[in-house]
Amino acid sequence: KCKSSKSSSSWDDNDWEPDSSAACCAPVCGTYRAPGAATPTECPAGRYCPAGATAPIPCAAGRFCPARACNETLCPCGSRCPAMTDRPQQCAPPYFCPDAGASAQKLCPTGFYCPDVGMCEARECPLGTWVSCAGKERCDPCPEGRYCPSVLESLLCPAGFYCPASTYAPIPCPPGTHCYVGAKVPAPCEIGEYSPQPQQESCLPCPGSAVVGASACSARRRALLAADGSESGEAAEATLTDAAKGGAIGMAAAAGYAACTLGALALTGMVARRTTVVQGLKQGSAAGPAAAAAAA
């Protein structure tokens, strides 16, 4: 109905009268008037009605239309809008919606995680974690005894290294310890063993006694190693000479050990090595030429 033709100053509640003119009854935006209908009808949710519409128009996928909508509205990123929806629907974990105008959500890809509602972008998993499949809400820490050089790999920790949880690169075992394949933590050398270098899979036997986790035998034990042939060549020379000069072993004893070692060296034809050790003992010997002669 439209207002009557009376002067507006004299209108009252009873002054409405039917008027079929197009100017009076054309529907405004957000309403429609079906053919033959006397009055416009409000546009329902999920549809839109531009001015002059004779029927509501279904809202397209990727758009939303609340009640009395004049036009479609683009669905924002982080949400999805199926056809004929009245409001955006936020994407739920483990999904994300990267583009505006989406009608469906996307599953979080392998190597990424989607923990929150309404995510526009998936988050990449950090180093030290890994993801074995798509659709994850969180990244799994790399397991103990393994390392993860990328978020798609979980590899067994190699010998000589250890790998606690969340490791992306193997950690070398320090001196005084050893590490088997798949080690979670370095294991200290047992009593009577030592490990002088990093990255060792096993410890070496030490003559006599030693403390737990030893990275070296005492100077006396090192001299014994050289004398019994556990060390040879240049390493044996350095061991005996260092032990004698450092005072950790008597010069007479050093000469005795040297005799054993030098005899072994002579058998292998390493005469030059024999001369070097004798000269070293002469320079540091408190026993004088007699000890050197005994060594020779």
Report the alpha-carbon angle 201-205-207, nearest 5.
Answer: 160
Residue with the bigger pLDDT between 263 and 251: it is 251
Place of tokens 């950690």: 171
Residue 26's pLDDT band (boundaries 50, 70, 90)? low
Residue 236 has pLDDT above 50, yes or no: no
In the prediction, which pLDDT does 290 show? 41
Q: C-alpha distances in angstroms, 73 versus 47, 86, 195, 199, 271?
A: 11, 10, 71, 63, 95
**Phi (first) and psi of residue 291, to 5 degrees:** -65, -40
CA dihedral 162, 163, 168, 171 (to 10 degrees): -20
% of the chain at pLDDT higher than 90: 55
- The 10 Å Cβ neighbour count of residue 63 is 21
Is the C-alpha dihedral spanning 252, 255, 261, 263 positive or negative? negative
pLDDT score recorded for residue 79: 97
Given this model, what pLDDT does residue 213 score? Answer: 59
Q: How far apart are CA 38 and CA 18, in angstroms?
A: 9
In tens, the pLDDT along 180-221 reads 999 999 999 988 888 999 999 999 998 755 555 566 665 444
Q: Strand, helix or coil at 164?
A: coil
Phi, psi torsion values for 200, nearest 5 degrees: -100, 135
**Rounded alpha-carbon distances, angstroms, from residue 93 to 12, 83, 207:** 59, 22, 62
Is the CB of residue 278 less than 8 Å from the CB of residue 291? Answer: no
Beta-carbon contacts of 69 under 8 Å, excluding residues fewer than 6 positions away, are 30, 43, 45, 47, 48, 49, 59
Q: Report pLDDT digits (tens) over 70-120.
A: 999 999 999 999 999 999 999 999 999 999 999 999 999 999 999 999 999
What are the residue boundaries of the structural domains of the chain, listed by start? 24-74, 90-141, 148-217, 219-295
- DSSP one-letter code for 145: T
Single-letter residue type at 256:
G
